[in-house]
Amino acid sequence: MSDATTTPRSRRQARGRYGRVSQVVTEIDERLGVARGGRTFLDKIFPDHWSFMLGEIVLYSFVVLLVTGVFLSLYYVPSATVVTYHGSYLPLDGMPMSQAYASTVNLSFAVRAGLLMRQMHHWAADIFIGSMVVHMARVFFTGAFRKPRELNWTIGVTLLTLAIVNGFLGYSLPDDLVSGTGIRIAYSILLSIPVIGTYLAFWIFGGNFPGTVILERFFILHVLIVPLLMLGLVGAHLALLVRQKHTQFPGEGRREDNVVGSPMFPVFMAKTTGFLLIVAGVIALLGGLAQINPIWQFGPYEASRISYAVQPDWYMGFLDGALRIFPSWSFHSFGHTIPLEVTIPAVVLPGLLFGLAYAWPALERRVTKDNAMHHLLDRPSDRPRRTAAGAAVLALLATLFVASSTDVIANFFHVSLNTVLWTMRVLVLVSPFVAYPIAYRIAKEMHALHGAGRRKTPNVVTRTGEGEYRAEPAPAFADDAEVPLAPTPVPDFIAEEQPAPPPRGTRTTDR
């Protein structure tokens, strides 16, 4: 078979530097033409600033959510069918409960690593939405949402909404006493919507609360429909990020028309893979060491039972807080009841907040009349009014979150629950108006401060022969000087031929 003139070595040399890998890749490229796109992708420049990695926490906790979620879905049974539990957790032995709850208890006690997976899933969800909020705050305070990136901001707000909805759906699935109470509250919130509320609630629950189908419906929404939407939107979010390229903070060599940073391969890829493992590791540590949502202590849900001190997960906390502290106003007339004490805090308030988030880029364009393209970021102190507005909304949300634990606060500090309630009512109304001027002043002061946000240069103190001390600023660091960068150009392995102008009347497209 082998020719006398070819040796293994000569054949290897004929295959080139990357051997068979190169051969396989070439074969693929000749058929699919992936090399050019792949090259562009591998050369994508990522700014190195740490705040750009906040979004990666979101992405990687999403990955953990998908992986652990698949594991959980193998054992969870979304059914309200009543079964009698006989398992290793004795306090529930012989008790009638829904199959959903029984399977979740079994998953926690009888499935190897089941509890770890459940806790990781829950912690990952909490971290997912938490880092989403932090990432959103970064984008907001630095003005990264400005033209041309309004669409990506809109996708991001939609992702946050979907994440909160899916978090609530997942929290509801175990059908324990606490989550059942949560579903009941959600049902009441639906009912409180004027005109369509009752129809909507009956449509979603397939009849009156609790019905028999809600767990199946929540399950398929939680594991298929909402995640699929989110995956698509995450894809669009990232594709837009590649298409529109990154924003960057102003600095040496950084202009509106370039991006300074590290290429996807190898620098960013190594960094981000490490970060993926760190995020997964932190979530696994939390899942293994810190208990979350011990449903076996709560018992199965029955409409006649309720536990005190029930709160939703933290990202729903602002809604719960608003519901708790809102005065009991309602409207009865013309044979209809509109429970304003539910409609306003649980429907109108989140509607306004998310509406504001969606509308913000347009609002800001209208107010500032700034319709230019922006690829260089603001520092928060550059835009005191935007920073102050963001701080006011965050302060409102934070006080509403605290208001969701009025009972915990009252019990912990031994004060009257009524005092806490009234204090929170006042604080919720006051906090945005306190936060706004404070943030505004700080931003103004920082902006006026010379050299704020830049590296400090030391003083050189010398002593003269007469014993006099003299302080002079040290010369600037070499890398602080404003010199344009001369970065290594992106290698151009694929030489493109300029196509000839097409003849009139015909259209061609490049292969």
Return the residues of window 315-354 that contact other proteins according to CB under 8 A. 315, 317
One of 62, 76, 123, 168 touching other proteins (CB under 8 A): 123
Nearest approach, Cβ of residue 471 and other proteins (Å): 26
Q: Between residue 476 and residue 505, which ones bind other proteins under the rule CB under 8 A?
A: none
> Are the beta carbons of 403 and 428 closer than 8 angstroms?
yes
Q: Which is nearer to other proteins, 99 or 404 (CB)?
A: 404
One of 416, 457, 459, 462 touching other proteins (CB under 8 A): 416
Distance set, CA 469 to CA 353, 460, 461, 463, 476 (Å):
58, 10, 7, 4, 21
Per rule CB under 8 A, count of chain residues that contact other proteins:
78
Q: Which is nearer to other proteins, 39 or 49 (CB)?
A: 49
Q: Which is nearer to other proteins, 103 or 119 (CB)?
A: 119
Q: Which is nearer to other proteins, 303 or 461 (CB)?
A: 303
Binding piece for other proteins, criterion CB under 8 A, among 148-156, 323-331, 400-408, 490-498: 400-408
Q: Between residue 350 and residue 389, which ones bind other proteins under the rule CB under 8 A?
A: none
Q: Between residue 257 and residue 316, which ones bind other proteins under the rule CB under 8 A?
A: 271, 274-275, 278-279, 282-283, 286, 288-294, 297-299, 302, 304-315
Nearest approach, Cβ of residue 405 and other proteins (Å): 4
Q: Which is nearer to other proteins, 298 or 436 (CB)?
A: 298
> Are the beta carbons of 163 and 316 closer than 8 angstroms?
no
- The one-character DSSP state at 261 is S
When asked if residue 38 is in the footprint of other proteins (CB under 8 A), the reply is: no
Nearest approach, Cβ of residue 393 and other proteins (Å): 17
Q: Which is nearer to other proteins, 35 or 83 (CB)?
A: 83
Instruction: List phi, psi (to 5°) of 470.
Output: -135, 130
Q: Which is nearer to other proteins, 22 or 307 (CB)?
A: 307
Nearest approach, Cβ of residue 327 and other proteins (Å): 12
Q: How far is Cα 499 from Cα 181, in angstroms, rounded to an integer?
A: 67
One of 26, 75, 87, 126 touching other proteins (CB under 8 A): 126
Q: Sign (positive/negative) of CA torsion 194, 328, 164, 293? A: negative
> Are the beta carbons of 321 and 408 closer than 8 angstroms?
no
Helix (H) or strand (E) holding 336: strand 336-338
Q: Between residue 439 and residue 458, which ones bind other proteins under the rule CB under 8 A?
A: 455
How many CB atoms sit inside 10 A of residue 51's CB? Answer: 17
Q: Between residue 208 and residue 247, which ones bind other proteins under the rule CB under 8 A?
A: none
Q: How far is Cα 15 from Cα 257, in angstroms, rounded to an integer?
A: 41
Nearest approach, Cβ of residue 483 and other proteins (Å): 16
For the chain, how many residues are written?
A: 511
Q: Which two tokens stand for residue 415?
A: 């004060």
One of 56, 150, 216, 382 touching other proteins (CB under 8 A): 56
One of 57, 173, 344, 389 touching other proteins (CB under 8 A): 57
Q: Between residue 145 and residue 174, which ones bind other proteins under the rule CB under 8 A?
A: none
Nearest approach, Cβ of residue 481 and other proteins (Å): 15
Angle between helices 177-191 and 150-172 (to 10 degrees): 130
Nearest approach, Cβ of residue 212 and other proteins (Å): 21
Q: Which is nearer to other proteins, 87 or 350 (CB)?
A: 87
Q: How far is Cα 228 from Cα 231, in angstroms, rounded to an integer?
A: 5
Q: How far is Cα 130 from Cα 137, in angstroms, rounded to an integer?
A: 11
- The one-character DSSP state at 381 is G
Q: Which is nearer to other proteins, 57 or 391 (CB)?
A: 57
Amino acid at 490: V
One of 127, 190, 349, 388 touching other proteins (CB under 8 A): 127
Contacts of 1 (CB under 8 A, 6+ apart): none
Q: Is 320 helix (H, G, I), strand (E, B) or coil?
A: helix
One of 77, 165, 240, 410 touching other proteins (CB under 8 A): 410
Nearest approach, Cβ of residue 109 and other proteins (Å): 8
Nearest approach, Cβ of residue 143 and other proteins (Å): 17
Angle between helices 349-368 and 384-403 (to 10 degrees): 170
One of 26, 38, 51, 87 touching other proteins (CB under 8 A): 51
Q: Is 331 helix (H, G, I), strand (E, B) or coil?
A: strand
Burial of 416 (0-12, 13-18, 19+ CB in 10 A): exposed
Q: Which is nearer to other proteins, 298 or 440 (CB)?
A: 298
Q: How far is Cα 326 from Cα 341, in angstroms, rounded to an integer?
A: 6
First to last CA, the chain: 39
Nearest approach, Cβ of residue 51 and other proteins (Å): 7
Nearest approach, Cβ of residue 245 and other proteins (Å): 17
Q: Which is nearer to other proteins, 139 or 201 (CB)?
A: 139
Q: How far is Cα 363 from Cα 498, in angstroms, rounded to an integer?
A: 44
Burial of 91 (0-12, 13-18, 19+ CB in 10 A): exposed
> Are the beta carbons of 346 and 317 closer than 8 angstroms?
no
Q: Which is nearer to other proteins, 138 or 375 (CB)?
A: 138
Q: Which two tokens stand for residue 201?
A: 């609630």
Nearest approach, Cβ of residue 336 and other proteins (Å): 18
Q: Between residue 59 and residue 118, which ones bind other proteins under the rule CB under 8 A?
A: 89-95, 108-109, 115
